[in-house]
Amino acid sequence: MDGKREIKVFPVSFEVYGYDEQEVEELRKAIVGFIDFHAKQNRPVLAGKAAKAISGWDSNPFVRNKIIDYFK
């Protein structure tokens, strides 16, 4: 065995704010599309790396300000 762990697929369920179901469905499609695109490029979106990237959004002032401005 080479010490690599097997990547598995897991479902994710969470709540998000929105004005209607269509808006939430657009988000779902965007997330699934992002994950599928990278998987097809042989770069799977791993949960741990995604969590680290998302939770670190506020450590970069350029990213933080851009996100805050976008969600105003």
Distance CA 69, CA 72 (A): 5
Give the pLDDT band of residue 2 (cuts 50, 70, 90). low
Answer for the pair 46, 39: CB distance below 8 angstroms, yes or no.
no
The pTM assigned to this predicted structure is 0.77
Answer for the pair 45, 39: CB distance below 8 angstroms, yes or no.
yes
pLDDT given for residue 3 in this prediction: 74
Answer for the pair 67, 57: CB distance below 8 angstroms, yes or no.
yes
pLDDT given for residue 29 in this prediction: 97
pLDDT over 80 (residue 55): yes
Distance CA 32, CA 67 (A): 21
Q: What is the pLDDT of residues 14-50, one digit of tens each?
A: 999 999 999 999 999 999 999 999 999 999 999 999 9
